[in-house]
Amino acid sequence: MKFLCFPRMQLWHSDADWNADLKQQWQPCIDQKIKTRKGAMTLVAVFLFFIFSTLGLSMLYFSQIYLKLSAYKKNSTLLAYASENGIKLGFDHLLNLLSQTVSPSLLSSHESIELREDTINKGSEIVEKLLGLRLPFQNSQAWEHLWWESITNFYFEKIEEKEDYFHATYKTAISSVGKIKNFKEAKKSSLEARLGIFAGNLPLPYIPLLVDKKLDPDQKNDLSRNPEFQEIKNGLYRQLADYFRQRVHKEY
């Protein structure tokens, strides 16, 4: 607020009276001017304090944001690793099941008809019989503060029917979830594959044990010494023996 001062007009008898009266008239204006300067300095100090306080609080706030973003980025990377481990766990489990399956497996005519009908109706009984597990099956593991889980399931896609056998194709879906202890977010991943199964009176080219070429004596010896080949051959012989034993028992 500004104050306006106007001197009063009057007659003076001497120079001393004039100076004294002039000083008396302008004294309020001088006091107001001095007081105004003191108030301005106070406002400047308060304004500077406000600016520096705002800058300091802003730096603290942005530091917290940076720390949160860094932690979120780190947790996102760990979640991706955990989710990928879930996919690897499910796929490795599926490969182990398939490697332990004795192929080919012998079926009776009744079992073959039942599996064909179930497959035509888009069932998955043939997959459960092949793997020896009920669908879907799941696995989980944990390491320190990370945890992952995988679920494997099979979905019917198509069937190719022949006179004596059929070929069924299933979509293999492996889904996984990765989590971090005391962290609400989770990461999901998925993997798709295809599984083809032949069943019925199969032609010889579809049997894995068939070797479609002539072998020299050294190759035959190497093949006969192969432990995996011997295990498959012995398992097939046992299945053939059990199959024919059941056939003979039914006929007699």
What is residue 97's predicted lDDT score, i.e. its pLDDT?
85
Residue 111 covered by a domain = yes
Quick one: what percent of the chain has pLDDT higher than 90?
A: 4
Residue 194 covered by a domain = yes
Same domain? For 101 and 176 the reply is yes
Same domain? For 141 and 76 the reply is yes
What is residue 250's predicted lDDT score, i.e. its pLDDT?
45
Contact 139, 89 (CB under 8 A): yes
Same domain? For 116 and 98 the reply is yes
112 confidence band (pLDDT: 50, 70, 90): confident
The structure tokens 């003979």 sit at 248
**What's the whole-number average pLDDT of the chain?**
72
Contacts 24+ apart (CB under 8 A), 37-40: none
Same domain? For 216 and 197 the reply is no
Last residue of one domain, picked from the residues 175, 201, 227: 201
Residue 119 covered by a domain = yes
235 confidence band (pLDDT: 50, 70, 90): low
Residue 130 covered by a domain = yes
Residue bearing the bigger pLDDT, 22 or 120: 120
What is residue 170's predicted lDDT score, i.e. its pLDDT?
92
Whether residue 247 is predicted with pLDDT greater than 50 in this model: the reply is no
Residues 8-36: tens digit of each pLDDT: 445 444 455 555 555 555 555 544 544 44
What is residue 127's predicted lDDT score, i.e. its pLDDT?
87
Same domain? For 125 and 218 the reply is no
Q: b vs e for 20-40, b when ≥16 Cβ sit within 10 Å of the residue's Cβ?
A: eeeeeeeeeeeeeeeeeeeee
Residue 249 covered by a domain = no
Same domain? For 187 and 233 the reply is no
Same domain? For 90 and 107 the reply is yes
Domains in the chain: how many in total?
2
Same domain? For 181 and 105 the reply is yes
Domain interval for residue 75: 71-201
Residue 34 covered by a domain = no
Residue 186: partners with Cβ closer than 8 Å, 6 or more residues away: 79, 177, 178, 179
Residues 66-99: tens digit of each pLDDT: 667 666 777 778 888 888 888 888 888 888 888 7
User: In this structure, how many other beta carbons lie within 10 angstroms of the beta carbon of residue 147?
Assistant: 18
The reported pTM is 0.55
Q: b vs e for 45-84, b when ≥16 Cβ sit within 10 Å of the residue's Cβ?
A: eeeeeeeeeeeeeeeeeeeeeeeeeeeeeeeeebbeebbb
Residues 136-164: tens digit of each pLDDT: 888 888 888 888 899 999 999 888 888 88
Residue bearing the bigger pLDDT, 117 or 19: 117
What is residue 13's predicted lDDT score, i.e. its pLDDT?
46
176 confidence band (pLDDT: 50, 70, 90): very high
Same domain? For 135 and 234 the reply is no
Residue bearing the bigger pLDDT, 21 or 106: 106
Same domain? For 120 and 181 the reply is yes
Q: b vs e for 102-134, b when ≥16 Cβ sit within 10 Å of the residue's Cβ?
A: eebeebeeeebebbbebbeeeebebbebbbeee
User: In this structure, how many other beta carbons lie within 10 angstroms of the beta carbon of residue 201?
Assistant: 11
Residue 164 covered by a domain = yes
Residue 8 covered by a domain = no
Residues 205-217: tens digit of each pLDDT: 666 554 555 666 7
